[in-house]
């Protein structure tokens, strides 16, 4: 498994990242952690809210039971969304909170859940219209100073939201985690990945295979299967390879709960897609040649 810096001043991650948002119980978590580590996937993508605020703690229980695991992995987590859920009775509406107090409190919670001293990378989960950049900068400075968080980034930010927050910070935002895949490729063409490259900021890609509905188009899937066969690969693997080929330094996040799927994903890095095949895959989705 390739390891790569997500930003010139950022951490080194495994090029494929394991997303935990569907890992709902300890058994699944333990099984998937081992599957991931076995194939070189060492970076795990969390958020405070996954499993309605439960997965960090379950994941932490597995870490406590396996004392050598923490040192073998990088933990990414997020804060800033306040969900409407029975687990947070004071929330009357889904909203965002990127206040100094909430960021600090959320990280302290995450550290306790994981039973660890540090988070490798903390992301602001969504762009908050009420985000006070000076407050976020103070919170990040405090978390860096105390060693509680090593690196900082954002998720689902537009280019201008990214550049606004960056302009207030003393450290670089090392990633913008966004939804991008062959099937949902607008961010590759609307300026998002361009501006991230200006900042040398790598992309963490969520939903890198696209949502299931894209797999209903049987003709398109047939073409993808034929192409996958050419590379002795699966359709999922050529979809990952399509993203990995892009110059935006993309780190795909798997979403599966199945160890064999994690293993499958990890092998995508060995596929060297021909440039013409890359454009042919794009044309499958856009329906037309490039200009």
Q: How far is CA 107 from the centre of its chain?
A: 18
Asked if 22 and 255 touch (Cβ cutoff 8 Å), the reply is yes
Burial letters for 212-247: b for 16+ Cβ neighbours within 10 Å, e otherwise?
Answer: eebeeeeebeeebeebbeebebbbbbbbbbbbbbee
Q: Which stretches of 39-183 are DSSP H helices? A: 50-53, 55-65, 100-114, 133-145, 159-166
How many other CB atoms are found less than 10 A from the CB of residue 167? 9
Catalytic (active site) residue 50: yes
Using the minimum distance from each CB to a second copy, give the nearer residue, 36 or 139.
139
DSSP state, residue 182: S
Summarize as ranges the residues that interact with a second copy (CB under 8 A): 84, 91-97, 126, 129-133, 156, 158-161, 163-164, 167, 188-189, 191, 194-195, 197-198, 245-247, 275-276, 278-280, 282-283, 289-291
Using the minimum distance from each CB to a second copy, give the nearer residue, 28 or 166.
166
| Shortest spacing between CB 132 and a second copy, in angstroms | 5
| Shortest spacing between CB 190 and a second copy, in angstroms | 8
Query: Can you name the residues that pair with 82 across neighbouring β-strands?
Result: 95
Q: Out of 50, 53, 96, 118, which one is annotated catalytic?
A: 50
Using the minimum distance from each CB to a second copy, give the nearer residue, 147 or 290.
290
Distance CA 55, CA 26 (A): 9
Using the minimum distance from each CB to a second copy, give the nearer residue, 81 or 233.
81
Q: Which residues are catalytic?
A: 50
């Amino acid at each position: 498994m390739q390891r790569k810096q997500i930003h010139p001043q950022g951490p080194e991650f495994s090029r494929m990242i394991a997303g935990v948002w569907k890992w709902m119980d300890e058994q699944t978590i333990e099984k998937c952690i081992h599957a991931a580590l076995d194939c070189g996937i060492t970076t795990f993508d969390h958020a405070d809210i996954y499993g309605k605020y439960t997965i960090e703690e379950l994941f932490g229980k597995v870490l406590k039971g396996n004392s050598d695991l923490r040192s073998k992995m990088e933990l990414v987590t997020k804060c800033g969304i306040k969900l409407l859920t029975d687990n947070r009775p004071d929330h009357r509406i889904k909203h965002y909170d990127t206040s100094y107090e909430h960021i600090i409190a959320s990280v302290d919670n995450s550290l306790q859940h994981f039973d660890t001293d540090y988070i490798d990378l903390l992301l602001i989960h969504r762009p908050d219209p009420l985000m006070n950049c000076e407050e976020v900068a103070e919170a990040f400075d405090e978390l860096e100073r105390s060693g509680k968080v090593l690196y900082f980034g954002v998720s689902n930010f537009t280019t201008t939201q990214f550049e606004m927050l960056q302009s207030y910070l003393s450290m670089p935002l090392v990633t913008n985690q966004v939804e991008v895949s062959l099937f949902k490729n607008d961010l590759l063409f609307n300026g998002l990945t361009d501006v991230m490259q200006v900042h040398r900021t790598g992309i963490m890609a969520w939903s890198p295979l696209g949502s299931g509905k894209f797999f209903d188009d049987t003709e398109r899937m047939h073409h993808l299967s034929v192409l996958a066969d050419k590379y002795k690969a699966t359709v999922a693997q050529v979809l990952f390879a399509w993203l990995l080929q892009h110059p935006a330094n993309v780190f795909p996040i798997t979403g599966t709960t199945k160890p064999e799927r994690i293993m499958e994903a990890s092998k995508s890095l060995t596929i060297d897609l021909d440039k013409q095949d890359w454009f042919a895959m794009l044309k499958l989705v856009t329906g037309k040649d490039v200009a």
